A and B are shown apart, each in its own frame.
Chain A
Amino acid sequence: MLKGVHQKLEAQQTPAFFVRGANAFPRMVFFCALSIIFMAVDARLNYLSHIRQGFIAALHPLEIVANAPSEWYRDIKKYFSVHNELVQENYVLKQQAFEHKVMLQRLSTINAENAHLRSLLNGDLPIQPNAILGEISHMGRDPFTRTVVVNRGSQHNVKAGQAVVDSIGVIGQVTRVYPFTSEVTLITDKELSIPIQVERNQLRAIAFGEGNNTLDIPYLPTNVDIKVGDKLVTSGIDGIYPAGLAVATVSQILQNPESPFAKIVCTPVAEVTNHLQLLLLALPDAKATAPIEEKITKDAKAARDNLEPPTKAPTKPKANTNAPH
């Protein structure tokens, strides 16, 4: 009897105006707590990276659909590119190829010479880094971070931490790898820093991204020998970026009388917005590099021992020309 009444009450439709989900406040508290836990876990621990990878892989078809219109636009633009433009581009490319060929001729002789000199010094030959050619599929979706997404992922042997360059200079570093795509953080991102060297005087420093299109070299004294227009290249001491890649040019030096440090603003040379193709340089093999370093230090020690005169002459400590960082 009572059961019947109950059923009758349940079957009764509540008036549409009062239709409302369960009490929202406990739900809100519960989901807020859950998201805070997620944020903490994601920020401090790396448990969620697999979930993220799986989700991005599942999202890949959706991403292809979303990217399709811009790709069609690109293709159509390519198809209708004017004859004149193509001829001009062809001319420029031929000229460039010619120049590069001339430079390459010199390169082979210089390489041979370098190898010869290294063999004389008992040094090891630097390993030629492998690289993967990728293409920018789109810019990052978070307007706060400066990232691009590249169409090469863990299926193509991309690993987090790889350096990324284009034909002109360093672009950044692979920070997240998904199965078919990977996320490249640009050197202008606030989270990224890159060890650099001033090409003119070999001064070493670390450049930090500013979050807007520039780099900053902090903690250098106001009288440091850096001028506007100086070229900055990678120093190679981090073992991630090979030495000698162009990074940026110094565009502005601000002297703040209140600060003991100069504010050095640099603009990156790589043109992320103009080019689509980029190279993902393979990470140096840790096992391969470590013994070499050891050997070099050993060799250096041996050489120093040999060179050191038997008499205890006061040896001058070698002046440290490099700025501390």
Chain B
Amino acid sequence: MRHTNIVSIYFTLLIALLCQLFPWVGQGIILRPDFVLVAVLYWLLRAPNLCNVGTAWVAGLLVDLATGSLLGQHALSFTITAFIALSYQRRLVLFNTWQLAGYVIALLTIERVLMLLLKLFTGNENPGWHYLWPILTSLILWQMMIVIFGGLTRPKTKQ
């Protein structure tokens, strides 16, 4: 666990929201990664003392307000995903890059499926398989976050 600054957390969340607000058109909106979710998950797994389920809820609510979807949809799915992410958080130290990527894919899939269920409950059509594409782009974004901000654990010292 490395030292993290709370300002950097909110700054990355703001940037993520900005990216979400970017005018995505056509194919872009199908491939658009869940910027805010990836940012929330990253800080959640890296600094659970500063960023917790409540942060995820607030971030989800902001996404709802910004995208104009039903208020609380993203908040609910982010909250549940954040809880599942946190429940295994302490074991992540043992994971290598691939295992961590698998864990993140699982979390992203859970969020997508939850969102799909909520959308279907509120009367939307089944969007088809391309609905799952953002999982892959989000994973790429996750790896970029790791490259930019560093891994979840302290870099290994050479023995």
B-contacting residues of A (Cβ < 8 Å)?
16-17, 19-22, 24-25, 27-28, 31-32, 34-39, 41-43, 48, 52, 55-56, 59, 62-63, 65-67, 69-70, 137-145, 147, 176, 183, 190, 211, 273
Contact = CB atoms under 8 A, between A and B. Distances in A.
B155 interface: no
Given A32-B76, A32-B79, A56-B65, A21 B49 contact: yes
Contact of A142 (B69, B82, B89, B118): B69
Nearest to A39: B72
B87 A24 contact: yes
Contact of A35 (B21, B76, B90): B76
Interface of B: 1, 17-26, 29-30, 32, 48-49, 52-54, 56-57, 60-61, 65-73, 75-76, 79-80, 82-83, 86-87, 89-90, 93, 118-119, 122-125, 127, 131
Given A16-B1, A21-B49, A55-B65, A38 B71 contact: yes
Nearest to B58: A31
Given A17-B1, A21-B48, A31 B53 contact: yes
B52 A42 contact: no
Contacts of B24: 139, 141
Contacts of B67: 140-142
Nearest first, the 4 A-B pairs at minimum CB distance are: A38-B72, A138-B23, A39-B72, A28-B83
Contact of B83 (A24, A36, A52): A24
Nearest to A25: B83
Contacts of B22: 66-67, 69
A211 B68 contact: no
Interface of B, helix, strand, loop or mixed by DSSP: helix
A63 B29 CA distance: 16
A318 B48 CA distance: 75
Contacts of A52: 65, 68, 71
A42 B69 CA distance: 10
Contacts of A22: 52
A65 B18 contact: yes
Contacts of A273: 26
A34 B57 contact: yes
Nearest to B50: A21
B21 A36 contact: no
Given A31-B54, A35-B79, A143-B29, 9 more contacts: A24-B52, A27-B52, A28-B53, A34-B75, A39-B70, A66-B18, A140-B67, A143-B131, A144-B124
Contact of B125 (A28, A62, A69, A190): A190
A178 to B, nearest CB: 9
Nearest to A139: B25
Given A42-B70, A141-B66, A35 B75 contact: yes
